[in-house]
């Protein structure tokens, strides 16, 4: 399960019965106490008998074979931070040097993980969580009949924590997919997965809430349940009482690392939008309007003359972006997007991301005490949905880096003046420990601000290059042995 403050999904249900007590010698009198029916304390009327708990066995029998166990292996790079300043004669010096402590980039540590997934197509298409397979060099899918397959990662999308896998098999059992909108709060739901490696474990509970927003998860309106989910359940299906998948178990809220009553699932319709793009286009594209927004509280609503605290308050409009071109200004409040009312900024992000770049949408703004409609043509989202396949030109390059120039807001960060942001790292660069998100500031001491400069240095170099890389607040020269 994903580990932050949030992780993955049980519920313990108990029904307390009321039993009558007789203090006399009941055996000798052969008296049987009458069954007790609950009584309404207000009206005095007898309530109906308590309904029996649902039986999930039919759902499990039908769908259990379509739920798979996923094991992954790979290597993680040691972070590049400053190495403790120790004397070479210090007993700890050899320890830090040998185990690639901070300051020694390029060290690798074997990693292993496990999770769950489910087959959505008989020809071997599987859905799971992105965090289950992220960084994996090998993915093994195990079916309930004990068959094992090496899986290809078709693609992953971190913003929605969704991944698509493919195994080489035919005529596989597949789940039925449902509509999360048709499942209400309080209804029973069921999870099947492999918590702690216990394959095809079944847990049940109810929907506790819908359209939940979690920290740093602006694209997903999570389904909250009290179904028990634990590490290993990640990527497994959440079923409704019709036996249809309505979500992917993704996170739990926990102070201990284990289940504590709050679990969250990605609605299956959200995951399918992403999955179809990964399958057919190899990547995920999202619309962007180019604004910074914040939530509206009552005090802000009153300050702007709004009747209720709803909408997304625009606090920044980057120059040259779609919103700036359309005339959006800081201080505008976005009330609707293409007719959809906006209660919270996260809703705006979801509606915008559902549209393709180049689409035109209508914004309803609150400006200077009144509503105003304007049209905006969406740009491409700057979120980099990750595809599994390394582009051919990148795989063949000596350096193995895909980079882009810094955007204006990134170049305003302290101590960064120019440089190139790493979007993908493979081959020689990856072996040296360079990761996506690093900023390459210089090559062999020469500052770089254009990808062409980096290619030129790599082409002319003999066997190695020294890249000055910034990651977070740390800056370090990294030697790269060229392929």
Over residues 460-483, mean pLDDT: 81
| pLDDT value at residue 53 | 82
| pLDDT value at residue 38 | 55
Over residues 308-329, mean pLDDT: 88
Q: Return d(Cα 167, Cα 188) in angstroms, integer.
A: 32
- Kind and range of the H or E run holding 60: helix 57-63
The domain segmentation of the chain, as residue ranges, is 1-285, 287-380, 392-481
Q: Given 3.40.50.620, 2.40.10.120, 3.40.50.2300, 3.40.630.10, which CATH number is that of 1-285?
A: 2.40.10.120
Catalytic residue of the set 157, 161, 226, 332: 161
| Sign of CA pseudo-dihedral 320, 322, 327, 330 | negative
Q: Which of 36-40, 233-237, 476-480 has the lowest mean pLDDT?
A: 36-40
Q: Which of 94-108, 302-316, 416-430, 463-477 has the highest mean pLDDT?
A: 302-316
322-370 confidence digits (pLDDT tens): 999 999 988 899 999 999 999 888 888 888 888 888 889 999 999 988 9
Quick check: is 131 catalytic? yes
Q: Return d(Cα 224, Cα 251) in angstroms, integer.
A: 10
Select the more confidently predicted residue: 16 or 146: 146
| pLDDT value at residue 48 | 57
175-184 confidence digits (pLDDT tens): 999 999 999 9
204-252 confidence digits (pLDDT tens): 999 999 988 776 666 788 999 999 999 899 999 999 999 999 999 998 8
386-413 confidence digits (pLDDT tens): 444 444 455 456 788 888 777 655 554 5
> Band of the pLDDT at 95, cuts 50, 70, 90?
very low
Whether 392-481 and 1-285 are alike in CATH topology: the answer is: no
Give CA 448 to chain center in angstroms. 33
**What kind of fold does domain 287-380 have according to CATH?**
Pdz3 Domain (2.30.42)
Quick check: is 234 catalytic? yes
| pLDDT value at residue 34 | 45
Supply the mean pLDDT for the chain: 79
| 160, 204 Cβ separation under 8 angstroms | no
| pLDDT value at residue 12 | 32
Q: Given 1.10.10.10, 3.40.50.300, 3.30.413.10, 2.30.42.10, which CATH number is that of 392-481?
A: 2.30.42.10
Catalytic residue of the set 131, 208, 332, 397: 131
Over residues 405-430, mean pLDDT: 69
Catalytic residue of the set 116, 201, 208, 234: 234
3-state secondary structure of 327: coil
Q: Return d(Cα 260, Cα 117) in angstroms, integer.
A: 22
């Amino acid at each position: 399960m994903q580990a932050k403050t949030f992780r993955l999904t049980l519920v313990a249900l108990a029904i307390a019965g009321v039993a009558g007590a007789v203090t006399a010698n009941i055996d000798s009198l052969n008296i049987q106490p009458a069954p007790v029916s609950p009584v309404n304390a207000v009206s005095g009327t007898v309530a109906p008998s308590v309904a029996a708990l649902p039986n999930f066995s039919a759902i499990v029998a039908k769908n259990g074979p379509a739920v798979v166990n996923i094991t992954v292996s790979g290597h993680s790079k040691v972070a590049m931070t400053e190495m403790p300043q120790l004397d070479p004669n210090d007993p700890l010096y050899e320890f830090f040097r040998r185990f690639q402590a901070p300051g020694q980039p390029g060290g690798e540590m074997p990693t292993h993980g496990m999770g769950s997934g489910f087959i959505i197509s008989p020809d071997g298409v599987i859905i799971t969580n992105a965090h289950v397979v992220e960084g994996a060099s090998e993915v093994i899918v195990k079916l309930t009949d004990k068959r094992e397959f090496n899986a290809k990662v078709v693609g992953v999308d971190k913003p929605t924590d969704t991944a698509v896998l493919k195994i080489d098999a035919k005529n596989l059992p597949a789940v039925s997919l449902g509509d999360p909108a048709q499942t209400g709060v309080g209804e029973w739901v069921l999870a099947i997965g492999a918590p702690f490696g216990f394959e095809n474990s079944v847990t049940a509970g109810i929907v506790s809430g819908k359209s939940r927003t979690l920290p740093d998860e602006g694209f997903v309106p999570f389904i909250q349940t009290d179904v028990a989910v634990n590490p290993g359940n990640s990527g497994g299906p959440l079923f409704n009482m019709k036996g249809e998948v309505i979500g992917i178990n993704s996170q739990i809220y926990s102070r201990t690392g284990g289940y504590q009553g709050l679990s969250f699932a990605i609605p299956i319709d959200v995951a399918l939008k992403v999955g179809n793009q990964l399958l057919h286009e190899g990547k995920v594209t999202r619309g962007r309007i180019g604004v910074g927004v914040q939530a509206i509280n009552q005090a802000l609503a009153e300050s702007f003359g709004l009747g209720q605290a709803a909408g997304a308050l625009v606090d920044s409009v980057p120059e040259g972006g779609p919103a700036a071109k359309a005339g959006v200004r800081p201080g505008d409040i976005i009330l609707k997007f293409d007719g959809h009312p906006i209660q919270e900024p996260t809703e705006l992000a979801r509606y915008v991301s559902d549209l393709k770049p180049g689409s035109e949408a209508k914004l309803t703004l609150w400006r200077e005490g009144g509503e105003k409609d304007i049209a905006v043509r969406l740009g491409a989202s700057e979120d980099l949905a990750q595809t599994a396949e390394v582009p051919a030109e990148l795989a063949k390059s000596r350096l193995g880096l895909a980079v882009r120039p810094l955007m204006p807001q990134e170049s305003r960060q302290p101590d960064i003046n120019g440089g190139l942001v790493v979007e993908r790292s493979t081959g020689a660069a990856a072996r040296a420990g360079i990761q996506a998100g690093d900023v390459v500031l210089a090559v062999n001491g020469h500052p770089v601000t254009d990808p062409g400069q980096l290619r030129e240095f790599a082409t002319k170099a003999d066997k190695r290059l020294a890249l000055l890389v910034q990651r977070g607040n740390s800056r370090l020269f990294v030697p790269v042995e060229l392929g």
